[in-house]
Amino acid sequence: MKSSNQFSDALHVMAHLVGQDGPRTSEQLATCLPTHPVVIRRLLSALHKGGLVTSVRGHGGGSQLAREPAQITLYDVYVAIGAPALLHTGARETGRGCPVQRVVNEALDDSYRQAQALLEARLHDTTLATLGEAFARHLAHHAAGVPHDL
């Protein structure tokens, strides 16, 4: 099972595309995470297939948002990258028919399903515009000398 870091990275890339006046290359975006441009290209490919970014190859090319930030939810990004598990249960295989392990797994599985559903609902309610507004507030506080942890 893949880690949800891919989701965090995809959101990071998408947030950097908000408010840009033109396409950004994978090299430019890779400096923001920081990671290798190949990692960014894989994410951008998934986001492109999901209809969230447009991409142009070659000199002067790059990627940009395919829709307005207010029209792209975090859930859209989540689905575009393959909907990786947001939570990992860590439950053991039932193996050898242990009834206690089955009961433990059922309790964990039910709790994780409920938590996953709640997280997905919240992702539906948050747009890239919301992230952009939060970032603008952060920059304004930073410019005013407000500490980062507030």
| CATH value at residue 106 | 1.10.10.10
At 79-101, the pLDDT tens digits run: 999 998 777 666 666 556 678 88
Q: Which domain holds residue 85?
A: 5-143
135: phi then psi, degrees, rounded to nearest 5: -65, -40
Output the pTM of the full model. 0.80
Examine residue 100 and state whether it is found in any structural domain, yes or no.
yes
Q: In b/e form, how buried is each residue of 51-79, taking b as 16+ CB within 10 angstroms?
A: ebbebeeeeeebbebbeebeebbbbbbbe
Examine residue 148 and state whether it is found in any structural domain, yes or no.
no
At 95-147, the pLDDT tens digits run: 566 788 878 878 888 888 888 899 999 999 999 999 888 877 877 777 777 66
Examine residue 149 and state whether it is found in any structural domain, yes or no.
no
Q: What is the mean pLDDT of residues 68-78?
A: 96
